[in-house]
Amino acid sequence: MAALYILKSLRSAHPIFSCLSCKNLLAVERFAVADSHFPLQNLSFCRPVTTKISAEQDDYTVSYLVNSCGLSPESAIQVAQKVKLRSLEKADAVLALLRNHEFSNADISKLVKRHPLVLMADAEKTLLPKLEFFCSTGISRMDLARTLSYDPALLKISLQNQIIPAYNYLKSLLLSEDKVMKVLKNKPWIFLENLSKNVVPNIELLRELGMPSSGIALLLAHSPNILMKKHELFSEIVGEVKELGFEPMKSSFVSAIRVLSGKKTIWSRNSEAYRKWGWSEDDILSAFKLNPLCMTKSEKKIMETMEFLVNKMGWPPASIAKYPTVVSLSLERRIIPRCSVVKVLFSKGLMVEENLSLASVLCPAEKPFLERFVIRYLDQVPQLSNVYQGKVDIHDIYD
């Protein structure tokens, strides 16, 4: 009957078919259906009608994407190629559910753009249980909306078979719902992984070496991608860390894993930067063992810090290798303010340069530093506090 309807439409729309009676039309329909070599749907004169219906459906979808989902016309046209809305009932229910969970218009627009098929999901049976579970982890609705709009793949996977098992496993490692919530908020892609493939055997390896739960939790919270490396590669990295003398019981073992898991080019680049300041291979390895993160800084950061400490302050490069933590400190917020205070004290003869170590100036927390180097000398140098805060140029108060 659909074919008959189309032919009737053609008769009224095109003069060439006006001579066909209803009887003729039925005959054409029977002929078309009976003859497998010439099915009705392949008739060339039917194509414009099909194209018109498809075009109207696209216009219908594009209009909804623009007016209800906040997409631009250009984006809506692209998205309409992936989803065809035949009914607004499901789409309206999905949008109502999202807005009820504090998804902003911008969140909805991003979500639909990245996962247009969400508009065809069952709001009550499929989406609501997932949203309720995520909210039960402690994540705020606003953060959840932001997370799902940027990574909507979480709405595609099974709640019972993947999301909940992953959550329970992560909770057993991180030992805190709050930490799992932070992982969900900042690294939601973890829930998409097959954790049993690499994460489980990699963690078992660390446990066999004696790494405490706190160390495993630290690595998982900050660098979960490392735990997802193939087990063979992960084992090689851990083996290198052990050979360098790091102890699994200490947090530096975790830092060393993070560094050696990075690109080899970063290690080579930073090693060369330190060599330019006279560090030997032993100095580099020694510094790495003391503070692995000194090998993660940018070449620019290394060069600027070494330039200031060696050329401006006169500390020998070898002494910096003994306290590599200073390379990680902020030049503007910590190194320069503290060194400016010390230089003023040197110029006033209130402190002997030879008796002062690099670590004693840069490593203490702010309160002990202020008590030792600023507060006790305010009577002799009233402007010392302003020097520390960068309000006075140190040259203005030299003798």
What region does 193 belong to: left with phi over 0, alpha with psi -120 to 50, or beta? beta
Q: What is the pLDDT of residue 269?
A: 96
User: Among 32-41, 194-203, 214-223, which is the least confidently predicted range?
Assistant: 32-41
pLDDT tier, 31 (very low <50, low <70, confident <90, very high otherwise): very low
302 pLDDT higher than 90:
yes
Q: What is the pLDDT of residue 58?
A: 64
Average pLDDT, the chain: 86
3-state secondary structure at position 316: coil
Q: What is the pLDDT of residue 395?
A: 66
Distance between CA atoms of residues 390 and 333, nearest Å: 10
Q: What is the pLDDT of residues 308-331, one digit of tens each?
A: 999 999 999 999 999 999 999 999
Q: What is the pLDDT of residues 154-200, one digit of tens each?
A: 999 999 999 999 999 999 998 788 889 989 998 999 999 899 999 99
Query: Which residue matches tokens 């600027």?
Result: 304
Question: Which residue from 94, 34, 102, 39 is spatially nearest to 65, judged by alpha carbons?
Answer: 94
Q: What is the pLDDT of residues 60-69, one digit of tens each?
A: 899 999 999 9
Distance between CA atoms of residues 251 and 174, nearest Å: 15
Query: Which residue matches tokens 């992560």?
Result: 170
Output the pTM of the full model: 0.71
Please give the span between the terminal C-alpha atoms of the chain, in angstroms, as a whole number: 104
Contact 57, 84 (CB under 8 A): yes
Domain residue spans of the chain: 2-42, 330-399
Q: What is the pLDDT of residue 398?
A: 54
Q: Where are the alpha helices (DSSP H) in 291-353?
A: 299-306, 317-322, 336-347
Q: What is the pLDDT of residues 118-132, one digit of tens each?
A: 999 999 999 999 999
Contact 386, 341 (CB under 8 A): no
Q: What is the pLDDT of residues 332-342, one digit of tens each?
A: 999 999 999 99
3-state secondary structure at position 138: coil
pLDDT tier, 53 (very low <50, low <70, confident <90, very high otherwise): very low
User: Among 127-136, 281-290, 389-398, which is the least confidently predicted range?
Assistant: 389-398
Torsion, CA 370, CA 372, CA 378, CA 384, rounded to 10: -50
Distance between CA atoms of residues 287 and 226, nearest Å: 23
2-17 average pLDDT score: 40
Question: Which residue from 328, 284, 282, 288 is spatially nearest to 304, judged by alpha carbons?
Answer: 328
